[in-house]
Amino acid sequence: MATTPGSPERRRAPRIAPLSADIYAAGAAPARESSLQELKAQSRKPGEASFFYLDHHFQHNAVKVLPGEYFVADESLVIMTVLGSCIAACLWDSRARVGGMNHFMLPDGDLADASGRYGSYAMELLINEMLKLGARRETMQAKIFGGAQVMHNFTTMNVGERNTNFVLNYLHTERIPIVSEDVLDIYPRKVVFFPVTGKAMVKRLAHAHPDALAQEARGNAVTVVKSTAGGSVDLF
């Protein structure tokens, strides 16, 4: 997406997919739910998120995905991350009721550095871990978040835009449809994802562009996009 130097990037409006008919299929077994102690006690793979806590807002066990990490689950919990120019891809298989999130910092890096910090490795790792829990590529769908221009006047090497273009192209190549997205613009974001239902929620955080903040204050306008579906993104 082309921008003029010094101008904020336009935010892509979330694309809302219709409700999948089998999300709440009759007779579906309740999702498994581990206790917080059980989650903390389980051994974790390299790169797998391991910071578990009780989220008081949702009153639910949660795991925080840090830069370079991922998490995949087929049980009831909240997967959360905070993004600036980084990207989080949330993948979900509605039939297997499996979902996962990664958090990468750059599109790619040294071929010898197999790290979740880079999108090329982070996406492959996320997909493979989904497959291990019974998901299938042909029934996966994606929601993508982040890619903000959080550094004022930092437009000559826009990392957020590069990350966004990478994940769009990667998912297109893998034929995994993007059903929702909230990317680019200048806002850091807090994202929460529910791996069993595929529901995602995003909260825009305060940014570092004082001129944009002043313009928002003068306009005194608040826009809220809200819907309820397995393919939706809610603002909270």
Q: Taking the CB of residue 85, how many other CB atoms lie within 10 A of it?
A: 22
| Rounded distance between C-alpha atoms, residue 35 and residue 175, angstroms | 36
In what order do the strands lie in the sheet containing 140-146? 70-73, 98-102, 87-93, 140-146, 178-183
For the chain, the farthest-separated pair of C-alpha atoms sits apart, in whole angstroms, at 55
Give catalytic status of residue 90 as yes or no: no
DSSP 92-146: EETTTTEEEEE-BSBS---TT---TTBHHHHHHHHHHHHHHTT--GGGEEEEEEE
Strand partners, 44: none
- Contacts of 55 by beta carbon, 8 Å cutoff, 6+ apart: 61, 62, 78, 80, 192
H or E stretch at 87: strand 87-93
Considering the candidates 86, 130, 183, 192, report the single residue annotated as catalytic.
Answer: 86
First-residue to last-residue Cα distance in the chain: 27
The residue among 220, 191, 211 whose CA lies nearest residue 203 is: 191
- Encoded tokens for 197: 């239902």
- List the catalytic residues: 86
